[in-house]
Structure 1
Amino acid sequence: MDSNFEKCTNLIAAAKNIVVLTGAGISTESGIKDFRSKTGVYHLAPEYILSLDYFFQHPKEFYQFAIENLYHPDAIPNSGHEILTRWEEAGKVKHIITQNIDGLHQKAGSKNVIEFHGTMKTATCLNCGKIYLTEEMVYRMQTMENFYTCSHCNTKREKEQYIKPDVVLFGDAGEWFSVEGFNRILHHIEKADCLLVLGTSLKVTPFSTFPQYRGRGVPIIIINKGDTPYDHQEGTYVIQDSIGKTLLEMDK
């Protein structure tokens, strides 16, 4: 057995408070596109299409792109998601903090999940706060002209009653971007005895800063097919391989 892999397996076996950071790389193994690779979402369109400005200026086009590329109701959790659920049930994994908006961690049965960039499961009226399921938004798209305008409230300015998907767009701020939300995440990370990073390049701020807040001497295990800024730091163990396959081998 590879000594690096063996060390990682032993660290996870000994850990009692693992905090997991996940990105698109764990979901690609369920057939969902990532964002920045050659076949990713941003290869199809510029990042600007997922900005708050674009949403307000072109709501129909925004929704069409988002439903086609970000909404995956039929995606199924893979072995990576399932093992994290098992480790959570065993009391080993305490929190999963994810950049993903696909809900696959919850589909797999994980309970303590922080969706840092929001979710594609719902959308909310910016005026009255009515929540719409995304299935309902798809139906509205097929049957209504101004489907993106709330049917339950009225304001003088139509844009104030737009129904926005509950994802964090560029120029946007989600519930975890508040001081209180950020501090709750840092509290979890500070208490961790092992940080497990899965399928993220840790290059998008502020998510990329989270490992900096771990306790002194706390190891980071990174399973990701690309490089990250943390790869060569002391106490960091890197495995550039499939997440599902690697976690399955560690779970034996």
Structure 2
Amino acid sequence: MDMKLFETCKNLIINAENVVVLSGAGISTESGIKDFRSRTGVYQMAPEYILSLDYFYQNPREFYHFALQNLYHPDAVPNSGHEILAKWEREGKVSHIITQNIDGLHQKAGSKNVIEFHGTMKTASCLHCDKSYKTEEMINRFQTINEFYICDHCDTRQKRERFIKPDVVLFGDTGEWFTVEGFDRILHMIEAADCLLVLGTSLKVTPFSTFPQYRRKSTPLIIINIGDTPYDTDPNTFVIPESIGKSLSLLDEQPST
């Protein structure tokens, strides 16, 4: 462990007044949630295609069975990494967390300004009338209704038009933030940051992976991730290849001087 690097990053965060965080699956694995692409990840059990919009339409029951087993973690609890970020937000240090995660652990820890870029597994919505269903209700429907994935609040000629889809962004899908307005809001946050903190993501899935490109040249980029990212050798970039909870705990310690 490079303690000199930790001291440098600690001072960068101490002196920052507007830290923006980009988080990925790596922060949630420390709460026992599987990531996607590692040797023990979700995609070792099934191909990526199972989380596509096409597969959802073609095999809604099989899709839900997989998603409820592997993407929904209502009993998971935040770890020290989530809690420190929430503390920094309360202290006025962190302004926004932009996350790829769909587990809601940032909010459970107390963070308020969270953008769930890839959506959430807490709810599902009718693709026709937008009626919202809690995931607990979808589980009950799954167990008791044959065509549980078809909205009974509205009516259309084609049942497929009123499928109830979890509020997550699938492959071939778009989400709330996948608009010109949504992108502009996120890019404005990143451009305004005086420190960009990347946690637990390889930054290889677009468009999320492009966000660090929009920081100002003077804005330091701190990456805490076990594994390489495309930004590791960029100027003004500091890479900590350690666990997130351990690293943030060290960065949260009071300076020795």
Residues 168-210 of structure 1: per-residue CA shift (max 9 Å, x gap):
0000000100000000000000000000000000000000000
Quote the residue 1:157 is aligned against.
158
1:97 shift after superposition: 0.2
Aligned equivalents of 1:200 and 1:113: distance in 2? Answer: 16
Aligned equivalents of 1:238 and 1:126: distance in 2? Answer: 42
Quote the residue 1:223 is aligned against.
224
1:5 shift after superposition: 1.1
Quote the residue 1:112 is aligned against.
113
Is 1:15 equivalent to 2:16 in the alignment? yes
Quote the residue 1:29 is aligned against.
30
Quote the residue 1:102 is aligned against.
103
Is 1:43 equivalent to 2:44 in the alignment? yes
> Moved runs in structure 1, 4+ residues, more than 3 A?
none
Aligned equivalents of 2:110 and 2:161: distance in 1? Answer: 36
TM-score in terms of structure 2 length: 0.97
Amino acid of the structure 2 residue aligned with 1:64: H
Identity of aligned residues (%): 73
For the aligned residues, what is the CA RMSD? Answer: 0.6
Unaligned 5+ runs, structure 2: none
1:249 shift after superposition: 1.2
Quote the residue 1:137 is aligned against.
138
1:2 shift after superposition: 1.7
Structure-to-structure mapping, 1:195-214, within 5 angstroms: 195-214=196-215
Structure-to-structure mapping, 1:45-64, within 5 angstroms: 45-64=46-65
1:151 shift after superposition: 1.4
Aligned equivalents of 1:129 and 1:246: distance in 2? Answer: 41
Aligned equivalents of 2:139 and 2:72: distance in 1? Answer: 10
Amino acid of the structure 2 residue aligned with 1:30: S
1:215 shift after superposition: 1.1
SS at match of 1:227: coil
Are 2:187 and 2:211, in contact at CA under 8 Å, matched by a contact in 1? yes
Is 1:168 equivalent to 2:173 in the alignment? no
Unaligned 5+ runs, structure 1: none
Aligned equivalents of 1:8 and 1:153: distance in 2? Answer: 53
Is 1:232 equivalent to 2:198 in the alignment? no
TM-score in terms of structure 1 length: 0.99
Residues 76-105 of structure 1: per-residue CA shift (max 9 Å, x gap):
000000000000000000000000000000
1:165 shift after superposition: 0.2
Amino acid of the structure 2 residue aligned with 1:237: F
1:30 shift after superposition: 0.2
State the aligned residue count: 252
Aligned equivalents of 2:114 and 2:216: distance in 1? Answer: 21
Amino acid of the structure 2 residue aligned with 1:220: L
